[in-house]
Structure 1
Amino acid sequence: MLDFTHDTLAQRVVFASGKAAENLRSEVDRLGASAVMVIAGEADAAEAVCRGIDPALWHTDVAPHVPVDKAEKARAAARDHGVDLLVCIGGGSTTGLAKAVALTTGLPIVAVPTTYAGSEATNVWGMTEQARKTTGVDARVLPTTVVYDATLLTSLPVELTVASGLNALAHGIDSMWAPRTDPINQALAVEAIRALASGLPVVKDDPSGVAGHERCLYGAYLSAVAFASAGSGLHHKICHVLGGAYDLPHAQTHAVVLPHVLAFNAPAAPEAAARIGSALGSDLDSLRRTLDAPTALRDHGFRESDIDEAADLILPVVPPTNPRPVTRESLVRLLRDAWAGAEERR
């Protein structure tokens, strides 16, 4: 018998290729904003998207994992300019900074993603201070509107596209056994996995084509919606600690760790694993080989000497609902395999 409670977040999504500027202007008008703060990692790309609006403030001081000092600087800038709407144009770091501002100001956000990060569809925030990343959930950080435009992703380097897409895939896979998972989350996650698994090879073969990016954006959104409701599973707890403590690149870290967590959990969650496999169409390793995905954390700044410390930091935040019990020994083994790029162990 079905017995669950599901929360669906209230958010407007505007999805159309080639219409980011038009749709952003419409959303700014609809919200009645008069003092817009544009947060963008790359001003040149953002200017084209903002050609239909007149921002009161441009803010480009963005960094991965949202350092607290940069969040405070952005909050002060918003306050000093009387901002009444935040527009973030970029990847997860850019969206994360907008969320940090919204967390203390309550300002609405219109997000225009340029990667598959998925942060735009969640009410999860994260900030880093003294090499420790803190995350939380708050309704104020959920963007009011997401403007999706697949043409904004066609200039992404293929390597970043692959890593970002696998990060999106991780949202879906983790949602299959996250602490608050339910049949609705799982249905969204399965469709997301299917879309990403079919779309990413198309994007790799034709990075400038729109069709593959559209499919992947659709999948990334569904994955993020499932993740926002289901919560952070083992995979995300590991990656959040690694990113905050060792300043590892977000997407690449997720891309490397994902197969190891999937291999670890799959034997203890056979039904979820079967649905994941069916949605992938084959297996994750085959997809990763097709995509030339990142394979080792040592290639992205994680040192072998940090493994023991990392395991100690991760163990207290492991979800107690994880399908398989997690010990310090199993964490060390998983991290060592991910560091080395070794074959995943069940």
Structure 2
Amino acid sequence: MQPFTYTGLPTRVIFGHGTLEKLGPEVDRLGISRALVLSTPHQRDMAEDTAQRLGSLAAGIFSEAAMHTPVDVTERAMREVERGGADGIVAIGGGSTTGLGKAIALRTDLPQLVVPTTYAGSEMTPILGQTENGRKTTLRDPKVLPETVIYDVSLTLGLPVKLSAVSGLNAIAHAVEALYAQDRNPVIDLMAEEGIAALARSLPATITKPDDLDARSDALYGAWLCGICLGSVGMALHHKLCHTLGGMFNLPHAETHAVILPHAMRYNMQAAPIAAGRVARALGAGDAAKGLQNLARRVGAPLSLKEIGMTAEGIDPAVAQAMANPYWNPEPLIEARIRDLLERAFHGSDV
């Protein structure tokens, strides 16, 4: 076995059904007396219910969280933090809301409690992606890692089928890249393969029967494991491409991951055969890239960048941006091959 370094991230996790009942005691345990509740506009009702649960511990609601964490939205949220005298954050929702909480924590170091309602996984990472002037940049800082995460499976029962599919594939992407990351280790390898397997078996079931509590539990468990993977090791080509496309064209985050994943896997398979074998085994497939695309097809996820809003004119600028300040990747990045990858992803070609 090769030498490795493993660092366990210090987030407290509460997982189960009906665990939202523990919100108040957990906020109190973190020493928060005035919590600002965050959500997207779509989940304002959920934020209001959360604030009601907190009672006097709630400092107010900010329900303008947006995809890709725009800096101007964070600046508005910061004014609300100051106005309400908030000394902590409660974020309820998906990756957009979690990202806003992290952006606030980066600027204030306030404690965070996150209640995920999707399979985004970002609640388990010290990573923050922010968008400004059409460019998405990422950073890694312990200050943005939430102190507590409450996973309540019941909150995912109402997650729309389409969003369940793409959110789950987004989570799988975290684990796939962890398996060939530069700083991978055997502990994360175990979590990654188990996370992929849990989502691969549960996502089709949640599509067929959205109120299946066992399937939803399995999916949320898999998303948690995949989030740990993303937070513990580095990212590579897949995430670089998704960050580039999301920042430049404001493409939907999870859908972009779903489309790019099999193509990025194909690009790296020869350079990372052990990782590809683990992915294939977790999927119950003979070929990792084909297995990922077949899973996406099976759960009704989009297969092309074209169908999620990108235009062909964006391919060349995206290639240039992806080649600028690239993330480490097991397979060398060659401009012509990256262009071919994006063209195939744009058209939804088979991998």
Q: TM-score range by the shorter chain?
A: over 0.9
Provide the C-alpha distance between the structure 2 equivalents of 1:190 and 1:180, rounded to a whole number of angstroms: 16
List gaps (5 residues or longer) in structure 1.
none
* Paired position in structure 2 for 1:303: 311
* Paired position in structure 2 for 1:333: 340
* Paired position in structure 2 for 1:239: 242
Provide the C-alpha distance between the structure 1 equivalents of 2:197 and 2:248, rounded to a whole number of angstroms: 32
Deviation at 1:266, TM superposition (A): 1.0
CA contact (8 A) 1:24 1:50 kept: no
Deviation at 1:50, TM superposition (A): 4.2
Deviation at 1:215, TM superposition (A): 0.6
Q: How does 1:282-293 map to 2 (within 5 A)?
A: 282=285, 283-293=291-301
Superposed CA RMSD: 1.2
CA contact (8 A) 2:172 2:226 kept: yes
Deviation at 1:229, TM superposition (A): 1.2
Correspondence 1:188 to 2:191: yes
* Paired position in structure 2 for 1:39: 38
Q: How does 1:120-131 map to 2 (within 5 A)?
A: 120-131=123-134
* Paired position in structure 2 for 1:136: 139
* Paired position in structure 2 for 1:60: 63
The percentage of counterpart residues that share the same residue type is 44
Provide the C-alpha distance between the structure 1 equivalents of 2:61 and 2:88, rounded to a whole number of angstroms: 12
Deviation at 1:51, TM superposition (A): 3.7
Q: How does 1:240-255 map to 2 (within 5 A)?
A: 240-255=243-258
- 1:170 partner amino acid: A
Kindly tell me the number of residue pairs found equivalent between the two proteins. 342
- 1:12 partner amino acid: R
CA contact (8 A) 2:259 2:305 kept: yes
- 1:286 partner amino acid: N
* Paired position in structure 2 for 1:29: 28
Deviation at 1:77, TM superposition (A): 1.2
Provide the C-alpha distance between the structure 2 equivalents of 1:108 and 1:304, rounded to a whole number of angstroms: 43
Deviation at 1:9, TM superposition (A): 0.7
* Paired position in structure 1 for 2:97: 94
Alignment deviations for residues 317-345 of structure 1 (CA, whole Å, 9 cap, x no partner): 3333x22111110110000111111112x
Q: How does 1:248-327 map to 2 (within 5 A)?
A: 248-282=251-285, 283-320=291-328, 322-327=329-334
TM-score between the two structures when normalised by the length of structure 2? 0.95
- 2:31 partner amino acid: G
Correspondence 1:218 to 2:221: yes
CA contact (8 A) 1:150 1:214 kept: yes
Correspondence 1:19 to 2:19: yes
Alignment deviations for residues 232-275 of structure 1 (CA, whole Å, 9 cap, x no partner): 11101110111011100000000000010111111221111111
Q: 1:75 aligns with which of 70, 74, 78?
A: 78
Which secondary structure does the structure 2 equivalent of 1:56 belong to? strand
Deviation at 1:289, TM superposition (A): 2.6
CA contact (8 A) 2:66 2:96 kept: yes
TM-score between the two structures when normalised by the length of structure 1? 0.96
CA contact (8 A) 2:127 2:139 kept: yes
Provide the C-alpha distance between the structure 2 equivalents of 1:304 and 1:179, rounded to a whole number of angstroms: 32
- 2:135 partner amino acid: R
